[in-house]
Amino acid sequence: MSSPSSPLSGASHPLKGILLLVLATFLFASHDALSKYLSGFYPVVMVVWARYVVHTLLMAGIFLPQSGLRVLRSKRPGLQTLRAMCLLGTSLLFTSGLLFIPLAEATAVNFLAPLLVTALSVPLLGERVSAGQWGAVLLGFVGVLVIVHPGGELFTPAVLLPFGSALCFSFYQILTRKLSEYDSPTTSNFFAGLVNTVAISLLVPFFWQVPSLEHLFFMLALGACGMTAHLFLTQAFRQAAPALLAPFGYCQIVFAGLLGFVVFGHTPELITLVGIVLICCSGLGAAWLQQRAGKK
């Protein structure tokens, strides 16, 4: 799942920024589709391990020659480790959820994270949230209730997995916001990748299965999609303002639906589509209210 980034200087190419963000959302959706496919053959821990190992090795190849080990020097290593664990929790819970829940629906529930950030920013960051923003949060939860309506195929405890993923991701975003005061985005991303690679590598021997050559290629593609998506996301926010880009982040749900249909043959029910639309509207409304509040 894509995450918000702080605005950077040089935001003067909005169309390029939009294109990069849309490409990033397609890669994130492709990453999730590969995770769902591979988790049908291998334990979730092994799939997540492959994602982090490839991602971290690729990042090391790109950034270590430029910056050396100083790229890992953090002013708040404890907070960075906690942030990394939140991201690892997101990966494990979301990938586990994909075993039971279609791709588009799981992605939509995971997009509650920005709304949870809004709610959690009050007790954790001391920020003020307007009545309109609380309304957006409530609308998002209504959307989830519509998706998992009683009697529907998703009315099972398994829906708690992507919801737990969204909760972990909201804490990850809050810590990302806090750590932006101390460390660069490159340090934060590399630190998280390395910590999670080490952590999940301690578990993977208990779940190891020798992958086939075809699946090994898919595992390499999994990590490459994740890393490239994050690079595109970072570059997108260098080209255009976050307020402009925010609506296009929801393209990930559209791509997830398309890949879910093409790869897994799943077509969401009409009531499920209504719930997804409610979640998208709530997120867009919260982003718009946040932008308006920032201009005052």
pLDDT in the model for residue 294? 64
pLDDT (0 to 100) of residue 92: 96
Give the angle subtended at the CA of 42 by the CAs of 94 and 169, to the nearest 5°. 15
Angle between helical axes of 131-147 and 103-110 (0-180°, round to 10): 160
The residue among 288, 295, 296 whose CA lies nearest residue 132 is 288
DSSP letter at 265? -
Per-residue pLDDT of the chain (296 residues; tens, 9 = 90+): 554 444 444 456 788 988 999 999 999 999 999 999 999 999 999 999 999 999 899 988 888 888 788 888 899 999 999 999 999 999 999 999 999 999 999 999 998 888 888 888 888 877 787 888 888 889 998 988 888 877 777 778 899 999 999 999 999 989 988 888 898 888 888 899 999 999 999 999 999 999 999 999 999 999 999 989 988 888 887 887 776 787 888 899 999 999 999 999 998 888 989 999 999 999 888 878 777 766 65
pLDDT for position 289: 79
**pTM reported for the whole predicted model:** 0.87
- Please report the pLDDT score of residue 3 as a whole number: 47
Domain boundary assignment for the chain: 14-295
From the list 232, 192, 216, 224, the residue with the least C-alpha distance to 90 is 192
Nearest to 111 by CA among 100, 99, 103: 103
Cα separation, 83 vs 87, in Å, equals: 6
**pLDDT (0 to 100) of residue 6:** 42
38 neighbors 215 (Cβ within 8 angstroms)? yes
Amino acid at 78: G
Amino acid (1-letter code) at residue 71: V
Please list, in sequence order, all residues whose beta carbon lies within 8 angstroms of the beta carbon of residue 231, skipping any fewer than 6 positions away. Answer: none
